[in-house]
Amino acid sequence: MPSKLVTLVLRKNKFRLGIQTALGSCYQLQKLDISLNGFVGPFLSSWLSLPSIKYLDIAGNKLTGLLYKNMTCNSELAFVNLSSNLLSGDFPTCLKRDSNSRVVLYSGNCLVNEDQKQHPSYLCHNEALAVRIPPPSEEKHRRT
C-alpha cells in the first residue's frame, strides 16, 4: 500500500477476500470506504485511530472482530459506518456522539447494550460463519 494514500473508495463492488493489514499503516488516509462488498476477515481497530482518518465506511461486509469500550479513535472522525458486519463486544466509548456533527452507524452487528438494532451474539461467532445454509432453490433441487 502506498504510504501517502489519502482516499480509498472501493464501494459497491463484489470483493470477497480479506483486507490487507497494510491499510492500518496508511497514516495520511482520510477517507476509507469499502462498503457494500463481501470482504471477510478481521476488522482492524487501528483504522479508527489513524492520525488523519475522518470518514470510515465498512458497512455491508462480513468483517469480524471484538470491539472494546476503551478503544481509541481519532477525534476528527466525522462519519463512521460499521453497520451490517459481524462485530461483537462493547460499543467503543470514543464513538459515542459528543456532538451533532459526528455520524455513527452500527446496526446489524452483535454489539451488546446499544440502541441500534443488533443481532444475537451467536450469529457472529466463528462457528456460525462456517455453516452455510443453502438457499431455498438449492434445497428444492436436493429433494427431487
Domain ranges of the chain: 7-143
Query: What is residue 20's predicted lDDT score, i.e. its pLDDT?
Result: 83
More confident residue, 88 or 121: 88
Q: pTM for this structure?
A: 0.84
Q: What is the pLDDT of residues 54-87, one digit of tens each?
A: 999 999 999 999 999 999 999 999 999 999 999 9
Q: What is the pLDDT of the chain when averaged over all its residues?
A: 86
Amino acid at 113: N
Cβ contacts of 110 within 8 Å, gap of 6 or more: 86, 87, 88, 118, 119, 120, 121, 123, 124
pLDDT surpasses 50 at 132: no
**Rounded Cα–Cα distance for residues 118 and 77 (Å):** 23
More confident residue, 18 or 98: 18
Query: Under a CB-based contact definition with an 8 Å cutoff, are residues 34 and 56 in contact?
Result: no
Q: What is the pLDDT of residues 81-113, one digit of tens each?
A: 999 999 999 999 999 876 668 899 999 999 986
pLDDT surpasses 80 at 34: yes
Q: What is the DSSP string of 31-45?
A: EEE--SS--EEE--G
- Topology adopted by domain 7-143: 3.80.10
Please state, for a pLDDT cut of 70, what percent of the chain lies above it.
82
**Rounded Cα–Cα distance for residues 124 and 3 (Å):** 32
